[in-house]
Structure 1
């Protein structure tokens, strides 16, 4: 199951043990935000006494999460303050991205989201076409990357296309040829490390939230093997009754048929818009942005699919995640088609844009979910 990062409510009563865990998480979050910081400043930021903060920092140092990093510059008299910071070498994660059609990729990341080591595995033609990816290949890739980590890792996060159940089982992923694959248990058994499995669009959405903390109400559309989206309302990622919120790729768009999808039906959104479709247009020498080309048609169909969602939840942003060279021309098409279908905003117009940092967005999001689950750090 992938955890849902949430804001801390200072008005909610907690048990002493829960309060201590919350404060430890707040210390880690503050250090991640500020960098090297004195205990006194940490106490002010978190809202505890200096004595309590010294105790919290000592515990985190003992766990290998935090370390002393020297003294602050002293402008006046008195003893200079000792600075502490995250022990970044001891806060590593492994993330796996299964969203790219031609290859699987995995990486070791530090607490800031920087990729320290990366490995890729090309997929077979059958797997790339959605006719079956052997889950053992994913477990082997995770095990290989884990072995490259210079220090123990906190856990492994996996972003995968498809519908992921609470227990880390991929219930269905037509683009991988999977039904009821117990991916979390398979990878955990192969590596001996805690594993989280989440939908790739949810992972990408979490990465975008980390990169754009001011975004509170948005839909992020992840374009890869197919199309999926993550929905954020009031700063929270929407999961849905069956953990299937955002599964728009296999929604039939229009009544005019279309190509047969990997799920067996005709006219699914991802038969109109996907990385393989856009790449194929480029490879054959066609201009994908030409009228009635893949960009024009795909962007229009995407707008048709998400317009009711944008209107129902009063979202302020539509974010496209995927290869920027392919998706940049899609942005104005989606913006124009949405404007034709939605009432104009009386305040701030709807924004349609590319993801803030599209590079490695699924990897960074999967790693962020591990940090939240293991440390309470977002």
Structure 2
């Protein structure tokens, strides 16, 4: 068994210096850590035995033999990523860099309950692993996004309004009974924020991702960290009161909520069409009533986000979810209100834009969540305990 115990100078601890994917030499590592070269050499050998790092092209020589360099091997393990939405579900296999290797999507209703939905997830993940000629032993962790509040420390949904049968369900425990791997469960908007940041804004430490679909919510990255709140409900802006909506009844039992006025289903009701997809079709066909309704929904969202801008001072607000496909009409409404109601200092360099990750944001975020754990000292020790 290789030395992967956590602690100063352990292989798992030293590996954190190599996670950036850039080549490093033993001498550079010794200088950075202050460890003896013999200690560094043994730890590097342990990581190479586990195939977590691999040799890369030698660095420039300063005389004598060119120094050997090593870098992260993202193929050493894989992670399972799942985006479980209200009416669809996607499962993917990704490498340790978060790159998707294979994925599968089916029309699955979250209201079917936890066991049927999670059973589909397990079956689909196993099928993808077989296609990739990978086994359960290759899986370092699993990340799952759910369309409702999640207590991240336990992985249990908390009073999710559109998920009957899921409240306080032990998602992590059920998965591990059927697929023994470390499982991380979070709200789908939170993981979408991680996915959006990974794809488009890796150097931005303050970002808000807004999902506008059947519901409305946002994921908050502040000072480089995802902010979940005490019980996982941070960013639940869909149930914040909007000034013009005093009579609009919301599924949460209150009236005047943003979700009751500006979600895809709310706009569809206003226009007398079946769903948000029909609204998108009308907007793309140039229907004036639909364009005006979407623009007003953007203003309503902007009203809430203006307060968020003052509170959080983000650099970027990315608008995602299915309704983002209406394009600039929704975003124009958001910008109109945010830029007019927020302080100039907060908006001077603020970018409000359509999500770059699009429909992939959540599954990419789930992969990022799982890979981040897999590459942590704890994750390395778990995944390679039998190496």
Shift, 1:170, TM fit: 0.5
The whole-number CA distance in structure 2 between the counterparts of 1:37 and 1:361 is 31
Equivalent residue runs for 1:153-164 within 5 Å: 153-164=139-150
Q: Give a deviation string over 1:187-235, Cα, whole Å, max 9, x none.
A: 2222122211001111122223334233122322123331111222222
The whole-number CA distance in structure 2 between the counterparts of 1:288 and 1:112 is 43
Pick one of 190, 197, 215 that aligns with 2:204.
215
The whole-number CA distance in structure 1 between the counterparts of 2:63 and 2:43 is 27
Equivalent residue runs for 1:118-133 within 5 Å: 118-124=103-109, 127=110, 132-133=111-112
The whole-number CA distance in structure 1 between the counterparts of 2:367 and 2:77 is 11
Report what 1:246 is aligned to.
Answer: 235
Shift, 1:338, TM fit: 0.8
Q: Which has the larger helix fraction?
A: 2
Q: Does the 8 Å CA contact 1:27/1:46 hold for their aligned counterparts?
A: no
Report what 1:282 is aligned to.
Answer: 280
Report what 1:90 is aligned to.
Answer: 76
1:67 aligns to 2:54 (yes or no): yes
The structure-2 alpha-carbon separation of the partners of 1:216 and 1:76, relative to structure 1 and needing over 3 Å to count, comes to closer
Q: Give the root-mean-square deviation of aligned CA atoms.
A: 3.2
Q: Give a deviation string over 1:23-68, Cα, whole Å, max 9, x none.
A: 434234222xx2x554345556667564443233222223332233
Task: Name whichever of 307-316 and 79-88 sits farther off.
Answer: 79-88
Q: Does the 8 Å CA contact 2:210/2:216 hold for their aligned counterparts?
A: yes
Structure 1, gaps ≥5 residues long: 1-14
Report what 1:185 is aligned to.
Answer: 173
Q: Secondary structure at the match of 1:360?
A: helix
Shift, 1:325, TM fit: 2.7
Q: TM-score, normalised by structure 1?
A: 0.81
The whole-number CA distance in structure 1 between the counterparts of 2:237 and 2:6 is 43
Q: Does the 8 Å CA contact 1:90/1:153 hold for their aligned counterparts?
A: no
Shift, 1:90, TM fit: 2.3
Q: TM-score, normalised by structure 2?
A: 0.79
The whole-number CA distance in structure 2 between the counterparts of 1:325 and 1:98 is 20
Equivalent residue runs for 1:1-378 within 5 Å: 17-18=7-8, 20=10, 23-31=13-21, 34=22, 36-43=23-30, 50-69=37-56, 71-72=57-58, 78-99=64-85, 101-124=86-109, 127=110, 132-147=111-126, 148-149=128-129, 150-151=134-135, 152-165=138-151, 166-177=153-164, 178-211=166-199, 212-257=201-246, 260-275=249-264, 277=268, 278-283=276-281, 287=286, 293-323=292-322, 324-345=324-345, 348-376=348-376
Structure 2, gaps ≥5 residues long: 269-275, 380-387
Q: Does the 8 Å CA contact 2:148/2:157 hold for their aligned counterparts?
A: yes
Q: Secondary structure at the match of 2:142?
A: strand
Q: Does the 8 Å CA contact 1:257/1:267 hold for their aligned counterparts?
A: yes
The whole-number CA distance in structure 2 between the counterparts of 1:22 and 1:303 is 45
